[in-house]
């Protein structure tokens, strides 16, 4: 029996990023950048007002020389001092952000400016509204501004040649904003890995049909497709596959050509799985094994096709399939996306009830994670399979927002014991 760590190491070693593609910024969020993006122009590209106020020449409001104070031998900017003996300045115009009308400031004049507005020629400072009497035709300064005060100079943010986004960085909102700021509408990225989901088994029917005797709905292809999309993949749900070996081989080979990851449920465990395993073994290397965990102990992994596509075989039980996906498939998708921390967030929580686990296997028990209203401590309540009840029931999974992870050497958790919990949703 293979440990969870051993199986995970085999899986993640097969991770590879898809070939880079150039996408629009609106489609690039969460993807890994595949190029270095340098700025070709300064940001801002012109002197602009950093605050609402009046564009002035500092010399006209008593701020021609730097005002400093000495603190422990070092010069420090002094607090703005009041203006004495200076009369009001005529306000000769107004400039808003985005204005393309150039203005030229003459000595002893002021221009009303708004945040982001281009500064008139010869203006070298902005007098904030709060430092004036807010006049409309004439403005009287009440505090000094120095040359450069409240002005955004060209290149203050980004200069030509500066690296806006580095290769292998994940594009979040800030990086998308930087790309837009340097004028890039598209960027070279590693796209979302294409994950194909299939269900194998003659007992399955699609949800638009009425199950007959001995038949059940195909739950897994829908649940696993949703899980893969939640993990960041580009998902293709094939649904149910069946038929004679040659037909199965044709279906799987076709999907290998369009996928970076293949997930087949129902291909391990049970008498019917032998037929599809023979087909898969003819397409590449596939290894079925028992992993020291529950549920989902019996599973498979291998590399199929000429491109050696990572292929997962998960049980047909929906709960076991989703647990196997969380522990093994999600990290592979995250690695292909370039994420260094692709696993779920974990916390320590106090158990509210009695839990049982199988000695020698790592338990993953569906649970509801909560916070104590007074102490803000995490509390967790085990659900299906927690106290010896059947672990295969899907209803408990629908109510769960977390998985309790119980170590291999622990078979029992008592109320009040602290356990490790994996988030399944951000609402916990």
pLDDT-derived band at 213, boundaries 50, 70, 90:
confident
pLDDT-derived band at 336, boundaries 50, 70, 90:
confident
Query: With the CA atoms of 407, 410, 412 and 413 taken in that order, what torsion angle do they form, in degrees rounded to the nearest 10?
Result: -50
174 shares a domain with 94 = no
pTM (predicted TM-score): 0.74
Structure confidence by residue, pLDDT tens digits, 72-91: 444 444 455 555 556 789 99
Q: What residue numbers bound the domain in which 236 lies?
A: 4-17+192-337
Is the pLDDT score of 335 beyond 60? Answer: yes
Give the integer Cα–Cα distance in Å for 307 and 304: 7
**Tokens for 119?**
């500064």
Cα angle 15, 21, 24 (rounded to 5 degrees) comes to 125
249 shares a domain with 163 = no
For residue 303, the domain's CATH number is: 3.40.980.10
**139-148, 277-286, 336-345: which has the minimum mean pLDDT?**
336-345
pLDDT for residue 65: 47
179 shares a domain with 199 = no
Give the integer Cα–Cα distance in Å for 44 and 285: 56
Mean predicted confidence (pLDDT) in 15-30:
90
Q: Rounded to whole angstroms, what are the CA distances from 402 to 279, 371, 423?
A: 36, 13, 5
206 shares a domain with 262 = yes
Structure confidence by residue, pLDDT tens digits, 218-269: 999 999 999 999 998 999 999 999 888 899 999 999 999 999 999 999 878 7
Q: Rounded to whole angstroms, what are the CA distances from 265 to 5, 157, 308, 313, 364?
A: 22, 52, 19, 6, 19
C-beta of residue 51 within 8 angstroms of C-beta of residue 115? yes
Nearest Cα to Cα of residue 312 among 329, 295, 296, 297? 329
For residue 183, the domain's CATH number is: 3.90.105.10
Mean predicted confidence (pLDDT) in 276-284:
92
**Tokens for 422?**
């994996």
Give the integer Cα–Cα distance in Å for 410 and 65: 74
For residue 358, the domain's CATH number is: 2.40.340.10
Q: Rounded to whole angstroms, what are the CA distances from 42 to 86, 158, 323?
A: 36, 6, 50
DSSP 230: H
Would you call the peptide bond into 31 cis, given omega within 30 degrees of 0 as the criterion? no
pLDDT for residue 385: 55
Is the pLDDT score of 22 beyond 70? Answer: yes
179 shares a domain with 35 = yes
pLDDT, the chain, mean: 87
String of DSSP letters for 318-333: HHHHHHHIIIIIHHHH
In which residue are the tokens 């909560």 written?
370
315 shares a domain with 363 = no
């Amino acid at each position: 029996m293979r440990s969870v760590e051993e199986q995970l190491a085999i899986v993640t070693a097969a991770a590879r990023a898809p070939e880079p593609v150039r996408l629009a910024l609106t489609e690039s969020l969460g993807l890994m950048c595949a190029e270095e993006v340098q700025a070709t122009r300064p940001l801002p590209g012109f002197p602009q007002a950093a605050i609402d106020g009046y564009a002035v020449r500092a010399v006209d409001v008593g701020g021609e020389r730097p005002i400093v104070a000495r603190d422990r031998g070092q010069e420090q900017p002094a607090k703005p001092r009041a203006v004495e003996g200076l009369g009001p300045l005529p306000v000769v115009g107004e400039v808003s952000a985005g204005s393309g009308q150039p203005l030229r400031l003459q000595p002893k004049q002021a221009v009303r400016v708004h945040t982001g507005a281009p500064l008139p020629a010869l203006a070298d400072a902005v007098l904030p509204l709060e430092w004036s009497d807010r006049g409309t035709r004439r403005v009287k300064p009440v505090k000094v501004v120095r040359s450069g005060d409240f002005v955004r100079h060209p290149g203050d943010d980004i200069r030509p040649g500066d690296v806006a986004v580095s290769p292998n960085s994940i594009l979040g909102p800030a990086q998308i904003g930087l790309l837009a700021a340097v004028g890039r509408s598209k960027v070279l990225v590693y796209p979302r890995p294409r994950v194909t989901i299939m269900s194998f088994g003659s007992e399955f029917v699609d949800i638009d049909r009425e199950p007959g005797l001995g038949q059940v709905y195909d739950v897994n292809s829908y649940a696993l497709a949703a899980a893969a999309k939640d993990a960041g993949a580009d998902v293709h749900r094939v649904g149910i596959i069946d038929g004679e070996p040659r037909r199965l081989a044709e279906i799987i080979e076709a999907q290998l050509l369009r996928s970076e990851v293949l997930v087949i449920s129902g291909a391990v465990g049970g008498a019917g799985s032998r037929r599809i395993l023979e087909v898969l073994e003819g397409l590449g290397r596939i290894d079925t094994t028992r992993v020291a965990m529950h549920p989902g102990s019996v599973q498979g992994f291998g590399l199929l096709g000429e491109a050696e596509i990572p292929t997962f075989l998960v049980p047909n039980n929906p709960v076991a399939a989703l647990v196997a996906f969380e522990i093994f498939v999600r990290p592979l998708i995250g690695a292909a996306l370039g994420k260094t921390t692709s696993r779920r967030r974990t916390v320590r929580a106090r158990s509210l009830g009695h839990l049982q686990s199988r000695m020698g296997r790592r338990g993953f028990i569906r649970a509801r994670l909560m916070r104590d209203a007074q102490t803000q401590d995490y509390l967790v309540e085990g659900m299906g399979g927690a106290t010896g009840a059947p672990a295969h029931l899907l209803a408990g999974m629908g109510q769960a927002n977390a998985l309790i992870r119980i170590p291999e050497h622990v078979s029992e958790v008592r109320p009040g014991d602290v356990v490790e919990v994996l988030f399944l949703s951000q609402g916990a």
